[in-house]
Structure formats: structure tokens, C-alpha cells
Chains A and B, each alone.
Chain A
């Protein structure tokens, strides 16, 4: 992430440096990284000398911080190139690095599992604190590192800022998978038709949102959602939601023109709790997977009505 920050704030010389081909890049990028590290300190004529002078003259803390910053950048560059190499090599083996026959015959796939701390890093947790509300939400590993626990307190006290009249939501969203150089990748679930969740909740109704790939700017606020009702209790609950049941909404409002969710470019999934009931809540998730239910033949559950969309029925 440090490299991205620097690339975004760096000077124009970096952009010139990245244009040549990938093969010549390693040499250029390390040099540009040096320039970059010194440019943030203070503008000097000789970048290389300045950084060494500062390391000699500065205190021990600054020394350590500076060295680790450079090292972090180099590590990150290596990481990005490793990812790029993986992508190119995996392309020869098959999609996503698994052989083609495995992908074609696969009928049930585990997409997110919660068995370690690195699995938790794939998720972002938000609440209405961003708009000034008072709900809190936390995410941590459950018992024995076998599940993830999302817990917190919901409070629907509206923020007194004159803009929002309602409040009270908590959400857990998955991060968009990134490839080499922080390119956005998407999931391809076109051979599956049902979402499978193994959860243990406390009786509250949650909302599952799926967002598609956001390359087109209009798609950033569009999502497909459906409800997930938890039973509560000490037993694990399997929730199967077919993708044909997801309804379309834009900017938080259900739209009149409904179309089915297309599964070839999914970028993220999220769980939201906004049931207007104040109090503590928790949700334990074991894993999230997709599978192809052979008994489910419905394509889309919602018809468009001619009253609301006369244009579709001309």
C-alpha cells in the first residue's frame, strides 16, 4: 500500500519511468523509488546523497523509520512482481491457477473461509459511525480459530446533523480482490447458482449484498441484495440463497426495472444489519461458498410490472 500511496503522490518523473516495458522496469523502478523516498523529505538537487546524509545525521528513530520505509517499498515492489509472475504462470495452468478440468467440473466452491487472521483481513467492517451514528461493530476470530465472529451494538439514534433522519446500520464487506499492481480482479461464478453460508446468528435478519465489478462508474452504487434470516440458537445454520432471488437496487433504493444478477464479474459481497432494533448483536460465520443446485431452475424471481415500467412493455 505504501507504494501505491507514493505512486499517487509522486512527481511526474515516476510516470515517465513506468512507461517503458516491463522487462526494463526493475532497474528503473528501484531508482525511481529512491527518488521517491527522498522527494517526500525535502526537495533537494541530489536525491541519493541527501538520503544518506540524513541517515547519518538524523536520530536513531528517524534512521530506522527511513530504512524500513525504503525496505517496505522494495518488498512491495517484489510482491507485485511476484503476483504478476504468478498470474502469467497460472494462465498457462488454467484459470486462477487451477487446471481447467477441475474448474469445469467443480460444483461447490468455498470462496471465503475463516481459519486464520489473514482471512479476516479480506473483510472491512463499517458502521454508521461514518455518518455520525452510534453503532459499533467489531470483527474477530471465533473460538478455536474456526469461525469469524462479527459482534457489536446497534443504535438507531439518528445523528443530529440535519441531513440524516434515520440511522443504525452495521456492515461487513469483503475487499475487492487485487492482482498485481493493485488491479481489480473479480470472481466468476457463472457455473453456480446458489450462495451457501454456514452461520450462527442471534435471530436477527441480515441483508446480503453482492456488488458487481465497478469498472463502469455507474455501477459503484448498484448492488443486488436479499435477506438472510438467522435462527438463533447454538446450532449452526445453513443458509442457501439462490442467485435468482437477488433484487437490484441503486443508491440504496429498490429500482423498478429489475434484472437478474449476472455472475460473471462479482467483485464483493457484504452483510448488513439494519433492522431498527437497538441492542447488541453477533453473527458467527463458518465459511461462505457457492454451489450449483441442480434442483433450482428459476432464472429470476421478480417480474417487471407494466404499471411501474410501461416502457418495458411497449
Chain B
């Protein structure tokens, strides 16, 4: 069914079930009810329902009526139908980060969706720096421009403005993000973690707001003995300043992104930017190694072994 593209269509499954003869397989007396009546046909019905389950199609009343007509109410396909109804409705909305079923075809829209998906700050602004040049009159499949979509929140903007120009910031990527069954790649602009001695604590003077306290030090545990902290130091990483999704993963496209970012972050002009581009499905590189040479990004259709050796070459501390 995948060849015809109808595997998620409920009407097609109902039509398939319609193929069965209607009153033949229903058990009529108690002996037929004890022994599984027409087992092969029931298995066939089960296979149709199982394919529905695999593709996540929710059956409806028409399916129920068809199954009752074909197999009877106490048959295995009917049992499976009841189970599907039960468990599908229980698990329908458990995804805390839902992705729409029909993903947009336009790469810019997909990039906007993906960036909004990964950025938890709702006040972040998405800017489209460049759209893919699909409006060419030549119509050749040779895009001179790839789409570049970036996202940055006001907190990140403020952090970038405060960043010390002596420390470089890195463009890392591409990292993979899966939206249902489409994979997009994004890059991030981040700085290394500031060592604790150089970290400056922002002090808000107490007279800044007379109406309510800015810092409130309340403990919300039920008593003094409550301690819900885990006994482990969480992984700390440097701050992320912006993220982008681009059509191509080479330095030229990303440089255009940085130029676009400079319009909203003038402080970016003084800070040295280093490009750390690795293979796809990679993890963030070691942050304690010194300035690394930007490596050319390998093509995306790479075998796993190549990825593995490349990562080993780039090395980890």
C-alpha cells in the first residue's frame, strides 16, 4: 500500500475489509463458537488491522460494523479492534512536543517549524535571511542561493551583547533533527563555558523596583528536610546564542547567516567566529580543545564508519 501512498487512509482499509463476504464467517452455533471459526480468514483480518496499527490509523464505526458483519462480535479481529480503540485513544496525545501530521513541503516553512520546535523560549524571533531561489526563470535545479532561516531570542541577544570579545564563538553543526519522518539539519552559534573564576554575577541593586522584590528566596519544599536535588553535577555547557537551518552546510552559507545576525547584534562584529563543522548526526565537539581549523563538511550520504573515523580524527579531549 505504501507504493500507492494510501497506507494512512482509513477509507482504503474499510474498502479492503469490504472484500470479505459478509455473513459467512460468523459462528452460528456453540460448537463453532468454541473452536475458532474460519481461522485463516480471521488471521487475514488480523493482518489488515495490524497494518492499520503499524501506520497509526485509527479505525472508526464503519470498521466496527464491517467487522461485526464479517466475523461476529466475539472474534479475534473484533477483539483487536477493541484493543486498538482503547490503546490508541490512550496514547493519542502523550507527545509533549507534537509535530503536525502533514509537514509543509516548502523548505523555509519546514525550517521555521523545526526551529520553533527546538527553541523553548516562546519570545524568540525567526528571521528568514534568504529564501531558496526557486523563482528563477531558467528553472534549472542549480540553486545559487540556499534558504537560511535563523532564530534568536531576546535573552540570547542580550547575552551576545554582553559577551567578551576576547573569547571566540563557534558555529557548530550540522546536527540532525527529525520531524516525524523528515530530517533537517541545524547549526548553532555558541561560546565555550566561561571558567568559574571569570564568571561575573549580575547584581541587581535593591532599589531597582520598589513595588515588589526582584529576587525572592522562597523554599517550596514541605519542610526543611525536603531535598529534591540530585546528587550529581549536571553537564554544563556554554551558552547558545542563535540557531539556524540552512539548505547547504558549507562555510559560505553560514557566513551569510552571521552577516545577517550582525544586523541585530552589532557586538558580533568584534567577536571572532570560528566554524566547527562536522559530519551529520554528530555530537558537539569537545569544548576544551583550543582553536580548531574549520574542517570541510563531508557529504550527507556518508557511511557510519566514515563518520566514526572522522569523529575519532577530530578527537576528543
Our pick among B177, B226, B232 for the contact of A113 (Cβ within 8 Å) is: B232
Q: Are B283 and A232 in contact (CB under 8 A)?
A: no
Q: Are A136 and B304 in contact (CB under 8 A)?
A: yes
The smallest C-beta distance from A244 to any residue of chain B, in angstroms, reads 13
Our pick among B79, B83, B183 for the contact of A279 (Cβ within 8 Å) is: B183
Contact pattern, A 210-229, Cβ under 8 Å of B = 1, otherwise 0 = 00000000000000000101
Q: Are B230 and A146 in contact (CB under 8 A)?
A: no
Which of these binds chain B: A23-31, A40-48, A80-88, A201-209?
Answer: A201-209
Identify the closest chain B residue to A279 (Cβ): B183
Alpha-carbon gap, A151 to B283, bound state (A):
9
Alpha-carbon gap, A136 to B190, bound state (A):
31
Identify the closest chain B residue to A277 (Cβ): B181
Residues of A close to B86: CB separation below 8 A = 305, 308
Identify the closest chain B residue to A230 (Cβ): B97
Residues of A close to B46: CB separation below 8 A = none
Residues of B close to A284: CB separation below 8 A = 283
Residues of A close to B281: CB separation below 8 A = 151, 202, 280-282
Contact pattern, A 126-138, Cβ under 8 Å of B = 1, otherwise 0 = 0000000000101
Which of these binds chain B: A11-19, A50-58, A285-293?
Answer: A285-293
Alpha-carbon gap, A151 to B86, bound state (A):
34
Identify the closest chain B residue to A146 (Cβ): B235
Q: Are A289 and B230 in contact (CB under 8 A)?
A: yes
B82 contacts the other chain (CB 8 A): yes
Identify the closest chain A residue to B115 (Cβ): A233
Identify the closest chain B residue to A226 (Cβ): B94
Q: Are B284 and A231 in contact (CB under 8 A)?
A: no
Q: Are B82 and A287 in contact (CB under 8 A)?
A: no
Q: Are A254 and B87 in contact (CB under 8 A)?
A: yes
Alpha-carbon gap, A168 to B99, bound state (A):
22
B263 contacts the other chain (CB 8 A): no
The smallest C-beta distance from B59 to any residue of chain A, in angstroms, reads 15
Q: Are B177 and A256 in contact (CB under 8 A)?
A: no
Q: Are B119 and A233 in contact (CB under 8 A)?
A: yes
Alpha-carbon gap, A276 to B55, bound state (A):
9
Complex interface residues of chain B between 186 and 207 (CB less than 8 A to chain A):
186, 188, 190
A147 contacts the other chain (CB 8 A): yes
Residues of B close to A227: CB separation below 8 A = 91, 94-95
Identify the closest chain A residue to B91 (Cβ): A227
Residues of A close to B232: CB separation below 8 A = 110, 113, 287, 289
Known: A142-B283, A231-B97, A277-B181. A256 touches B235 (CB 8 A): no
The smallest C-beta distance from B109 to any residue of chain A, in angstroms, reads 17
Q: Are A234 and B188 in contact (CB under 8 A)?
A: yes
Alpha-carbon gap, A205 to B226, bound state (A):
33
Residues of B close to A234: CB separation below 8 A = 118, 175, 188, 190, 240, 243, 284
A260 contacts the other chain (CB 8 A): no
Our pick among B83, B178, B188, B227 for the contact of A202 (Cβ within 8 Å) is: B178
Our pick among A144, A233, A280 for the contact of B288 (Cβ within 8 Å) is: A144
Query: Interface residues of B, CB < 8 Å — how many?
Result: 56
Alpha-carbon gap, A262 to B33, bound state (A):
37
Alpha-carbon gap, A305 to B186, bound state (A):
45
Alpha-carbon gap, A227 to B96, bound state (A):
11
Alpha-carbon gap, A53 to B235, bound state (A):
56
Alpha-carbon gap, A203 to B228, bound state (A):
28
A266 contacts the other chain (CB 8 A): no
Q: Are B96 and A229 in contact (CB under 8 A)?
A: yes
Residues of A close to B99: CB separation below 8 A = 203
B295 contacts the other chain (CB 8 A): no
Q: Are B230 and A291 in contact (CB under 8 A)?
A: yes
Q: Are A281 and B235 in contact (CB under 8 A)?
A: no
Known: A166-B54, A205-B95. A307 touches B82 (CB 8 A): yes
The smallest C-beta distance from A260 to any residue of chain B, in angstroms, reads 15
Our pick among A233, A256, A302 for the contact of B83 (Cβ within 8 Å) is: A256
Our pick among A110, A236, A276 for the contact of B230 (Cβ within 8 Å) is: A110
The smallest C-beta distance from A308 to any residue of chain B, in angstroms, reads 6
A6 contacts the other chain (CB 8 A): no
A153 contacts the other chain (CB 8 A): yes
Identify the closest chain B residue to A136 (Cβ): B304
Residues of B close to A308: CB separation below 8 A = 79, 82-83, 86
A152 contacts the other chain (CB 8 A): yes
Contact pattern, B 84-116, Cβ under 8 Å of A = 1, otherwise 0 = 001100110011110100000000000000100
Alpha-carbon gap, A276 to B285, bound state (A):
29
Identify the closest chain A residue to B240 (Cβ): A234
Residues of A close to B304: CB separation below 8 A = 136, 138, 152-153, 280
10 contacts between A and B (CB under 8 A): A136-B304, A141-B316, A143-B317, A144-B286, A152-B304, A205-B95, A229-B95, A231-B118, A281-B178, A308-B79
Q: A231-B118, A235-B240, A286-B235 are in contact. List 19 more A-B contacts (CB 8 A).
A: A143-B283, A143-B317, A146-B235, A152-B304, A166-B54, A198-B234, A203-B178, A204-B178, A231-B120, A233-B117, A234-B175, A277-B181, A279-B178, A279-B183, A281-B176, A281-B281, A282-B281, A282-B282, A289-B232
Binding site for B on A (CB under 8 A): 105, 107-110, 113, 136, 138, 141-144, 146-147, 149, 151-153, 166, 196, 198, 202-205, 227, 229, 231-236, 254, 256, 276-277, 279-282, 284, 286-287, 289, 291, 294, 302, 305, 307-308
Binding site for A on B (CB under 8 A): 54, 79, 82-83, 86-87, 90-91, 94-97, 99, 114, 117-120, 175-181, 183, 186, 188, 190, 222, 225-232, 234-235, 237, 240, 243, 280-288, 304, 308, 316-317
